[in-house]
A and B are shown apart, each in its own frame.
Chain A
Amino acid sequence: MEKLSGSEMVVRSLEDEGVEFIFGYPGGAVLHIYDALFKSKSIPHILVRHEQAATHAADGYARATGKPGVVLVTSGPGATNAITGVATAYMDSIPMVVLSGQVATHLIGEDAFQETDMIGVSRPIVKHSFQVRHASDIPITIKKAFHLASTGRPGPVVIDIPKDLTKPDELFEYSYPETVKLRSYSPARRGHMGQIKKAVRLLLGARRPIIYAGGGVILGGASDLLRELAECVNFPVTNTLMGLGSFPASSSQFLGMLGMHGFYEANMAMHNSDVILAVGVRFDDRVTNTVSKFCPGAQIIHIDIDPASISKTVPADLPIVGEVSTILTEMLKQLKEENGNINSITEKNSLDDWWRQIQIWRKENGLWSDRRYPESDQIMPQQVIECLYRVTDGDAFVTSDVGQHQMFAAQYYRFEKANRWINSGGLGTMGFGLPAAMGVQLAFPDQTVVCVTGEGSIQMNIQELSTCTQYNLPLKVVNLRNNYLGMVRQWQDMQYEGRHAMSTYEDSLPDFTKLVSAYGHLGFEIKELADLEDIMKEAFSMKDKLVFLDIFVDPAEHVYPMHVAPNGAMNDMWLSKSKRT
């Protein structure tokens, strides 16, 4: 058997796991590993400019490809810098393996230089974590970490490796395990057949049904099945912020996003439904508004891989625990068996009244059926996203930061495919967009990748423009510049009588075009609507350059619809500054 040092085993295990990129940043505790990486040259390492960006880039890579992202950071500050990205991945159930260096075993607990209890610090935001105790355990620990990160409900896994275990001069017999078994870990696969049959019967009897589908559909690779099922029964479909792309926006059955900034027709249909088929969602507070008022007449079928998601906030009438894909497959089979052929199912389902009602809602206040935002002599942020959609043929990978621009992107970029909309839904992490876009662009070098951001968010990880220079990442940045922390300003307008406490930069913003050119990229300022489409087209035609579009938009615009809170229901919405339901 081959003999390798601890650090060589780290690198070889990652190779044997099929890792395509490592996102990281070196430091004392991981220098042995970096040396082994240097010698092997097998896996490209992306040197970020801040460890937070390493985790976000790995996260973006994971969201776009479905494969776990891999991060390597040093102990102490390297590990703590990575934490925000670990928490971001945890909240959105993104598969990630984070290798953190640790001080040598004999120093642990002594407040040694750059010692942080990474296992302790990361405990509440990881799916699991390991501190390696013996170098010979490195391969099996890495195998377990990848297994845990990518199966069941995915999530980040931390492996903390004390420096002495990676010494170059101590050799061990190496073999990478083919499989791994953990006696305490066996995520559910198939759903309960009895429950599935009951669910099918409930669906077929529904008169005002709706499918509420989320990120779990994308993580479970079940978008095609979702579409097949929805078409088979002719139900309307709404997506969560995390689920956008799991159902094609171009379908007439699509009602848009639901929730706090969800579409009128989606929120109305949810509130008035009699049966909700909830797939890979978690009844998040940004969806439900006041839980006690949530969809009073609806029976809820809830499909999820995580039993703890069932009835956590809203009680499910019919829970089905298991993989979304196997459950939807089984449901389709049952539907067809019970009903001979698909046509007869849709006929049997007399949903005409329901669809008529939905059309009325759409016509009244739907964001896509008419222009709903006000006239202005400035560019409206919504127009920028509509333009982006046209220029990229609706086929780009879109990452975003957090704030108004994120909601406008979610509302107006009509996603057709899964894994294309990449945003921090659960944690709401400003600074996510640019590094996430780097991860996506590395995975798909020939595709259009755009980061929709705001001048607040972009400055949280703007140093990554330098990483983009080093690795020639030709992504596009669309900065909706409203000169405010816009979403904060919106809340201050609505709830604090317009007192804009610390939500403005008071003319301190940099000239972004100069800034990006200092990094070797190209920047354009756009102030006139008449220039928008032409400049954007030009920017997106430059396939091998990073282009930053600094687009001045109306600073006073708010995101609507917006749930009325506190104490509002799904159907209580502000539709504009003056109009509410």
Chain B
Amino acid sequence: MRRIVSVLLENEPGALSRVVGLFSQRGYNIETLNVAPTEDPTLSRLTLTTIGDDKTIEQITKQLNKLVDVVKLVDLTEGSHLERDLMLVKIRTGAEQREEIKRTVDIFRGQIVDVGPEIYIVQIVGTGDKLDSFISAIGYAEVLEVARSGVAGISRGDKILSV
């Protein structure tokens, strides 16, 4: 099963490598990874998605909790939550395709954020699935480059991940 784990991490040198190292060391996989500072400068928030059965996920969360740099973590998939991935896609487009690409971008509630003589850069925000669907939907055009942020997530309601 796919899981989204959010981790509050001490903003210390080497902290990120301990988390990433744990995954390779113990043979767990990371599908996506997203890290950035939080409103508290001493903490970073790291969100990763991984795939595994309940036993594996239990071990992953326990082993993460054991890391001294990990302050707190939550498996967002245990409850109701929001997840967002941001994607920038660079597409080559001739004049004849421009309208169609625009329509597809609209359907996905995306934006064209940069335009060149033969280039569109499209921004799409949503779940990983939505971004994947966009890429297949745009299959008729030539996709030159894709950059994705990895999933960021947050629990719905009053459940809060903080110290």
Interface residues of A (CB under 8 A from B): 119-120, 123-124, 127-129, 131, 133, 148, 182-185, 306-308, 310-312
Contacts and interface: CB of A to CB of B under 8 A. Distances in A.
B58 A184 contact: no
B62 A308 contact: yes
B68 A127 contact: yes
5 contacts: A184-B70, A185-B68, A307-B65, A308-B63, A311-B55
Nearest to A119: B14
Contacts of A131: 13-14
Interface stretch (B17-25, B82-90, B127-135, B141-149): B17-25
B14 A312 contact: no
A124 B17 contact: no
Contacts of B163: 183
Contacts of B59: 308, 312
Nearest to B64: A308
Interface of B: 10, 13-14, 17-18, 21, 25, 55, 58-59, 62-63, 65-66, 68-72, 163
Contacts of A129: 14
Contacts of A120: 17
A183 B14 contact: no
A124 B71 contact: no
B10 A184 contact: yes
Contacts of B68: 127-128, 148, 182, 184-185
B42 to A, nearest CB: 9
B17 A123 contact: yes
B58 A311 contact: yes
B71 A183 contact: yes
B contact patch SS = helix
Nearest to A148: B68
Nearest to B14: A119
B162 to A, nearest CB: 12
B10 to A, nearest CB: 6
Given A129-B14, A307-B62, A184 B21 contact: no
Given A119-B14, A124-B25, A131-B13, A308 B69 contact: no
B18 A123 contact: yes
Given A123-B14, A184-B10, A308-B59, 17 more contacts: A119-B14, A120-B17, A123-B18, A123-B21, A124-B21, A127-B68, A131-B13, A183-B163, A184-B68, A184-B69, A184-B70, A185-B68, A306-B66, A307-B66, A308-B65, A311-B58, A312-B59
Contacts of B18: 123
A184 B12 CA distance: 12
| Nearest 7 A/B pairs, CB to CB | A308-B62, A184-B71, A128-B68, A124-B25, A307-B62, A185-B68, A123-B21
Contacts of A311: 55, 58
B3 to A, nearest CB: 17
Contacts of A310: 62
Contacts of B14: 119, 123, 129, 131
Contacts of B17: 120, 123
A457 B71 CA distance: 42
A129 B12 CA distance: 11
Contacts of B72: 184
A133 B13 CA distance: 10
B69 to A, nearest CB: 7
Contacts of A184: 10, 68-72
Nearest to B163: A183
A120 B163 CA distance: 28
Contacts of A308: 59, 62-63, 65-66
